[in-house]
Amino acid sequence: MTTEALAGLAAAGGAALVGAMATDAWQTARTRFLQLLGRDGRGDAVEHQLETQADVVERTAEGGREMARAAFLPGWQLQLADFLQQHPEAEQEFRQVIEQVRSELPETYQRQTEAHFEVRAGRDAYTSAHDMTVTHHHGDRSSP
């Protein structure tokens, strides 16, 4: 998996995970992501982190929940990218978890946002957003 694809998949996973906090989809998200991330013997630490952050989102007033979720998103993206680097064989299962969690999210979180970006970077470039699908094209694209 390319670095760009890995970053995009980790962003999608992170968005699904934190988007599920304080929703009816939380138990599914918690269980499925814990099954994945617990493979490295870190299950207890990951479970504690999930529960602590979900509790913060739950206790936050309705208007501030998106800000709380946004604060937790970068950390999950990094952890999920690290997991995917260490376990490339889990990619398909990871995608299935994302789809399952997304299907259980409230309709407002299920909306897909499509955007076209042209990124030119000398070293690394990462883009993330809530509920975003990333498609990476190789080669010259003269028009979006």
CA 57-59-65 angle, 5° bins: 40
How much is the pTM? 0.76
**Looking at the predicted structure, is the pLDDT value of residue 129 above 80?**
no
119 is a domain residue = no
User: Predicted confidence band at 110 (pLDDT cuts at 50, 70, 90)?
Assistant: low
Angle between the N-to-C axes of helices 26-37 and 3-20, in degrees from 0 to 180, rounded to the nearest 10 = 140
17 is a domain residue = yes
140 is a domain residue = no
pLDDT given at position 51? 97
Q: Which residue has the higher pLDDT, 51 or 115?
A: 51
36 is a domain residue = yes
Structural domain including 73 reads 3-109
129 is a domain residue = no
58 is a domain residue = yes
Number of domains in the chain: 1
Stretch (H or E) spanning 30? helix 26-37
13 is a domain residue = yes
Contacts of 11 (CB under 8 A, 6+ apart): 77, 126, 127, 128, 129, 132, 134
